[in-house]
C-alpha cells in the first residue's frame, strides 16, 4: 500500500504528451513537506506553519535526503463507476528526489 496518496485531484489544464511537431513535452514537478494548517476564509490562504512545525519539516527533509529516499509517484486516470483502483490506467509515473537541505 502506498505511503502517501490522494484519491482525487483535477488537472488545471490539458496536459500534452507531445508538442505540435510531435516532440515529447517535458514537465517539472516539486513537492513540499508541510503541516496542514487552518484555511483563512478572509485571505483565501492556509495559515503559515509555526516555527516549530517548519523545524520539524526541515528535520524530516534532512533525514530523507541523508537516507537517499525517493518518492515514486504514479498518476492514474479515474474511471467513472469503477471501484477497483487497479483498473485505473496509469498516465504518468516518475520519482521525486530530495534536494539538498538549505542548511546541509
Cell numbers for 59: 528535520
**Whether residue 104 has pLDDT greater than 70:** no
- How much is the average pLDDT of 48-60? 97
Q: CA 47 to CA 37: how far, in whole Å?
A: 6
- How much is the average pLDDT of 19-47? 95
Phi first, then psi, for residue 97 (nearest 5°) are -105, 135
Tell me the per-residue pLDDT of 7-30, one tens digit each, with 9 for 90 and over.
Answer: 888 999 989 999 999 999 999 999
pLDDT on residue 6: 86
Amino acid at each position: 500500500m502506498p505511503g502517501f496518496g490522494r484519491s482525487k485531484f483535477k488537472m488545471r489544464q490539458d496536459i500534452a504528451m507531445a508538442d505540435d511537431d510531435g516532440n515529447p513535452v517535458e514537465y517539472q514537478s516539486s513537492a513540499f513537506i508541510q503541516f496542514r494548517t487552518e484555511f483563512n476564509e478572509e485571505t483565501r490562504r492556509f495559515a503559515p506553519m509555526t516555527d516549530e512545525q517548519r523545524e520539524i519539516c526541515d528535520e524530516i527533509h534532512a533525514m530523507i535526503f541523508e537516507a537517499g529516499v525517493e518518492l515514486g509517484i504514479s498518476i492514474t486516470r479515474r474511471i467513472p463507476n469503477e471501484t477497483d483502483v487497479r483498473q485505473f490506467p496509469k498516465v504518468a509515473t516518475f520519482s521525486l528526489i530530495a534536494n539538498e537541505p538549505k542548511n546541509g
